[in-house]
Amino acid sequence: MVATLLVDKDIEAGRSVVERLDRAGFPLSGAFWLYNSETDLWTLYLVTPLVDQEVSEIDESDAILGEDSPVKLVDISLISPNNPKVHQLAKTHKTGPGIHGIRLYHNFAGDEYIERGYIYRMNLED
C-alpha cells in the first residue's frame, strides 16, 4: 500500500490552524501532523494544557476554528503536553516558539517510531 502524502496544501492548512489559534491566544505548546499507516490517515495534533483541564475549555478550539477551519475538525486531535508521545518528540525535535517546518520520515523519537510527520511547533516547558 502506498502511503498518502501530506502535500503543500495540507501543510499550509495546518499552518493556518496554528496561526488562528495563536492570534486567539489559545495555549498551544505543540502542533504536528502524524501519519497512521494502519488507517492511511494524517492527524493534526495540537498540544495544549487545556486537555488536562475542564472539557468545556477544550471546546474553545472548535469555536476559534469554526466551520471554516482550513483542516477538517475530524482530522484534528487535541493532546496533552503530558502525553508520552509528545515528550518523546519534544526531546528530539524541540523548536522553541513560533511556527517551523520539520519533516519526519522514518524517524524515532525516543522509542516512538514515526513513519511520517511534520512539526510546526514543539515547545514544551522543561
Domain count, the chain: 1
Q: Which three cell numbers stand for residue 99?
A: 511556527
Expressed as residue numbers, the domain containing 30 is 8-122
Comparing CA positions, the residue from 6, 56, 55, 9 lying closest to residue 33 is 6
pLDDT digits 0-9 by tens, 58-113: 566 666 777 778 888 889 999 999 998 898 888 888 998 899 999 999 988 878 88
- Is residue 35 situated within a structural domain? yes
- Is residue 105 situated within a structural domain? yes
pLDDT score at 51 = 86
Whether residue 18 is predicted with pLDDT greater than 80 in this model: the reply is: yes
- Is residue 21 situated within a structural domain? yes
- Is residue 89 situated within a structural domain? yes
- Is residue 49 situated within a structural domain? yes
pLDDT score at 118 = 96
Whole-angstrom Cα distance, residue 34 to residue 118?
7
- Is residue 59 situated within a structural domain? yes
- Is residue 72 situated within a structural domain? yes
- Is residue 101 situated within a structural domain? yes
pTM of the model: 0.88
Grid-cell match 496533552, residue found: 80
